[in-house]
Amino acid sequence: MSEQFYNILIVGVGGQGVLLASEIISEVAMHAGLDVKKSEIHGMSQRGGVVTSHVRIGKKVYSPTIQQGEVDFLMGFEKAEALRFVGWMKKTGTVVVSHTTLVPAIVTSSKEFHYPEDAIADLKNKAHNVIDVEADKIAGELGNPRLVNTILIGVLANLLPFEEKLWVDVIKSLVKEKFVAVNLEAFARGRGIHLALNKQPEGRSMLRPRDNTPRLVRPHSSGVRATPL
């Protein structure tokens, strides 16, 4: 990935806040002085269909769409949708995916289509870096399942060079006032997931649990699993 150029593909289903997430990421980058282009596909979003958003960030961006094989960060709000788009990634790209399972009606009503038995494992077999987060569980703890998007934005914020204050200010400006506090808490929970990519001795990585006591865990062969704090 060239310096200060990021291709981010966000995927999910209708109602998960894919479009809001793309707007937040875009606004943060623009406030940081970078050029941003984005495009969205959400024709069936109101019926739980697939929703995708391309966000391209750089000093100068000409096209709003990412070419297949050029995605730096794949954000999957639903794990099977992340698996569907994993082929769009660079070999060096990173997947940030929630454990959320939303089985589409076409699968439940037909014997022709099947939901993946273990989409997370399949992702790790296909992508070099996978950060899988129990964002649905954290969202449940916060009292709103729709917070998965903001939790994963918090995780992504650890991987992009933008100041935390920018993220906070943009969330405050784009989220309805009555939901600002809980969204900021969700963002903080995502930010608080400590990733140890390439920082610990080979074969081990460190995640910090709630009591702040260091705990060593073994990473998966194709990436590091980040569990909620």
Domain residue spans of the chain: 6-217
Treating both helix axes as pointing N-terminal to C-terminal, what angle do 164-174 and 18-31 enclose, rounded to 10 degrees? 130
- Report the DSSP pairing between strands 50-58 and 6-13: antiparallel
pLDDT at 1 over 70: no
Which residue shows structure tokens 């917070």?
147
Residue 21's contacts (CB-CB under 8 Å, 6 or more residues apart) are 10, 53, 75, 77, 149, 150, 152, 153
Can you list the alpha helix ranges (DSSP code H) found in 32-147? 79-84, 105-108, 119-126, 135-142
Q: How confident is the model at residue 15 (pLDDT cuts 50, 70, 90)?
A: confident
56, 36 contact by CB (below 8 A): yes
Q: What is the pLDDT of residues 64-83, one digit of tens each?
A: 999 999 999 999 999 999 99
Note the pLDDT of residue 49.
79
CA distance 68 to 89: 7
Note the pLDDT of residue 14.
86
- DSSP H or E run through 187: helix 180-191
Sign of CA dihedral 17, 20, 26, 29: negative
Token pair for 199: 């920082």
CA distance 22 to 19: 5
Residue 173 identity (one-letter amino acid): S
CATH number of 6-217: 3.40.920.10
CA distance 38 to 10: 11
The verdict on pTM exceeding 0.85 is no
Note the pLDDT of residue 2.
45
Q: CA triplet 84, 86, 92: central angle to 5 degrees?
A: 175
CA distance 103 to 124: 20
Treating both helix axes as pointing N-terminal to C-terminal, what angle do 135-142 and 180-191 enclose, rounded to 10 degrees? 140
- Report which of residues 222 and 49 the model is more confident about: 49
Note the pLDDT of residue 115.
85
- DSSP H or E run through 91: strand 89-98
Can you list the alpha helix ranges (DSSP code H) found in 94-177? 105-108, 119-126, 135-142, 148-157, 164-174
CA distance 73 to 93: 6
pLDDT at 184 over 90: yes
